[in-house]
Amino acid sequence: MSRDAGAAEEAALLGLAPVPPPATERYGPRPSQVIDLYGPGEGSGAPLVAVLHGGFWREAYDRAHLSPLAAALADGHGLGVALVEYRRVGGGGGWPGTFEDVERALARLARLGEVRALVGHSAGGHLALWAAARGLVRGTVVAVAPVADLGRAHELGLSGGAVVELLGGPEWVTARLREADPVRLPPPDPAAVTVRLLHGTEDADVPVELSRRYAAATGAHLTELPGTGHYAPVTPGTGAFARLRCAL
């Protein structure tokens, strides 16, 4: 995929109007410790799909760009979709705040209903795989274009050293990779969770190599999307988004 085509994918997603949530749930006192809820209301008994957004864990990127995805997943399928916000680097996140927030948010959702699936895109895909390895979720985990191998992402210097920022500085990378990198953690329990990866072969932001390495290490099922970049799988209306719906 050319640079122009990749930029067009990004523009198509970011050009969608944010969809306000019908309800919002707090799971902590910080401004970012919130969950936007789409679909059937509280008490409906509908299964929940939790969604973790990407943005290389940085404060500049919040959940708003995945609100169209959350609304589309909830539309007409009887699903409750929970779009999770979390503290990010530059806003009190990084190590350990970002990871603590994912754990707290999933615990809060478990009190609202049965979380049947967890979807994560990009850095959110990394967090979803981390949650699966830690036993924080049951059912299905779908990691879309995930930063699935933090060590390799660090070697490649993805997004100007985003892994170093996440883990608190170069002096901490080696030690904290053991706790933060899904490839280095024990594989998710297959009796409790099914892990599926979707990754475009033309992804210029997070190379498909990272998902291939994770799949080889853990046995997770990887679906490669030929001719697809980083953003199409989370953009409603695309063929790649249809593949995501099928995975769920």
Separation between Cα atoms, residue 200 and residue 206, nearest integer Å: 9
Token representation of residue 25? 């749930």
Domain that holds residue 122: 3-247
Separation between Cα atoms, residue 143 and residue 50, nearest integer Å: 12
Separation between Cα atoms, residue 177 and residue 160, nearest integer Å: 18
Instruction: Kindly give the interhelix angle for 67-74 and 239-247, rounded to the nearest 10 degrees.
Output: 60
**Quick one: CA torsion of 51, 56, 61, 64, rounded to 10 degrees?**
-20
Please tell me the total count of domains within the chain: 1
Per DSSP, what are the bridge partners of residue 222?
A: 197
Q: Residue 169 is part of a domain; what is its CATH number?
A: 3.40.50.1820
Separation between Cα atoms, residue 217 and residue 133, nearest integer Å: 13
Q: For residue range 128-157, what is the model confidence (pLDDT) as tens digits?
A: 999 999 999 999 999 999 999 999 999 999
2-16, 47-61, 206-220: range with lowest mean pLDDT: 2-16
pTM: 0.97
> In the prediction, which pLDDT does 123 show?
98
Nearest to 56 by CA among 115, 119, 127: 127
> In the prediction, which pLDDT does 132 show?
98
Mean pLDDT within 172-195: 97
Residue 234 has pLDDT above 70, yes or no: yes
Residue 46 has pLDDT above 80, yes or no: no
* Residue carrying structure tokens 């024990």: 186
- HSE-CB at 84 with a 13 A cutoff on CA atoms is 33
Q: Are 49 and 83 in contact (CB under 8 A)?
A: no
Q: For residue range 22-41, what is the model confidence (pLDDT) as tens digits?
A: 999 999 999 999 999 999 86
